[in-house]
Amino acid sequence: MLANHSEIISDYELKPYTTLKVGGNAQKAYLPVSVGSMIDAIKSADKNGEEYTIIGAGSNLLISSQGVEGATILTKNLKDVIQIEDNKIYALCGAKSSAFSKAAYDAGLKGAEFLIGIPGSIGGAIYMNAGAHGQNIKDIIESVKVLDMKTYEILEIPAHNLDFTYRSSTFMKKKYIILSGIFKMDNGDKNQMKELMDFHVNYRAEHHPPLTEYSAGSTFRNPEGDYAANLLEKVGAKEYIENGRVRFSQKHANFLYNFNNASSDDVVRLMYTMWDRVYKEFNIKLHPEIRFVGKKTVEEEKLWKIMTKQ
């Protein structure tokens, strides 16, 4: 145990903690129960010379079937703190996006309706500037509390310094770990908010695969001026099956799902096959929205580099 009762487990299975249900084991897993114990886990990993990986709700994530070396820090227990004061909401990084949306609605604060249908955490939503149908995290975030991985200093960074763009933020470039966020939101009409939340839920039910299918969400980012799903459908993504284990959804060509105990190399090969078809047909290089963590095979390393080199 570390301070604040953080649990440490060796050879810990990670597959259940991802929405895609793919992945091997963590060499060592830390399960912090507070921000303090999360910081202690990071310090402990650094002291031991261990590389560390942080996993939130496990959406938009592909974990290598070869496992993850070093320390894996799971924030799943950092989820119960969502505090509201006036028109501001404070949320820990592990808070579920849907729970945040409901809390905002209950308080009559608008702008988080789109989060109701996103199966991820607030930390992940901030990291990638999650959004849907014109609503985005960047529009409601006031500041983010982070841990500087170099100095162990806790910083509070205002939103205007976070470089939010489409599915991107400063956290993809700098050595910061998201601990919590403060959101500033306007009062809204609860009837209109409920209608918008229902729209997001119904839209996902109609156009996205059900949550019972093991998916990582959007596979590729939308290229400028087009939709990844449109391009993928044109090159036959819905008809292609990789190794009898993983395919793209019949409902949405940018959602791949694991229907038969797929491995990470099955997923990467499927992604690359469609990436290559889109590139050859339209001269467009799609960029993965999924994040890959863990030990890659030689083939995975090669194909992933091709897809992420822009």
Is the domain of 304 the same as that of 237?
Answer: yes
Binning pLDDT at 50, 70 and 90, where does residue 79 land?
Answer: confident
- The answer to whether the CB of 284 falls within 8 A of the CB of 235 is no
- The answer to whether the CB of 140 falls within 8 A of the CB of 159 is no
Q: Can you give the CATH number for the domain in which 14 is found?
A: 3.30.43.10
Is the domain of 140 the same as that of 165?
Answer: yes
> Helix, strand, coil shares of the chain as percentages rounded to 5?
35, 30, 35
- What residues make up the domain containing 93? 82-193
Residue 57 lies in a domain: yes
H helical segments located in the chain: 35-47, 97-106, 122-127, 190-207, 228-234, 264-282, 298-308
Q: Is the pLDDT of residue 5 over 60?
A: no
Residue 150, pLDDT score: 85
CA dist 90 and 169 (Å) reads: 19
The rounded mean pLDDT for the chain is 92
Closest by Cα among 18, 12, 74 to 42: 74
Exactly one of 169, 218, 263, 264 is catalytic; name it. Answer: 218
The reported pTM is 0.83
Exactly one of 7, 50, 69, 289 is catalytic; name it. Answer: 289
pLDDT, tens only, 232-268: 999 999 999 999 999 999 999 999 999 999 999 999 9
Residue 12 lies in a domain: yes
Is the pLDDT higher at 35 or at 273? 273
Residue 199 lies in a domain: no
Is the domain of 279 the same as that of 180?
Answer: no
Cα–Cα–Cα angle for 191, 195, 199, nearest 5°? 170
pLDDT, tens only, 114-137: 999 887 889 999 999 999 888 999
> What does 217-230 look like in DSSP terms, one character per residue?
EESBPPPTTS-HHH
Q: 53, 74, 95: which is the final residue of a domain?
A: 74
Q: Is the pLDDT of residue 106 over 60?
A: yes
Q: Is 167 a catalytic residue?
A: yes
Q: Is 218 a catalytic residue?
A: yes
Q: Is 224 a catalytic residue?
A: no
Is the domain of 44 the same as that of 101?
Answer: no
Buried b (16+ CB within 10 A) or exposed e, 179-203: bbbbbebeebeeeebeebbebbeee
Number of domains the chain is built from: 3
Binning pLDDT at 50, 70 and 90, where does residue 213 land?
Answer: confident
> What does 102-168 look like in DSSP terms, one character per residue?
HHHHHTTB-S-GGGGG--SBHHHHHHTT-EETTEEGGGTEEEEEEEETTT--EEEEEGGGS--BTTB
Exactly one of 113, 167, 263, 269 is catalytic; name it. Answer: 167
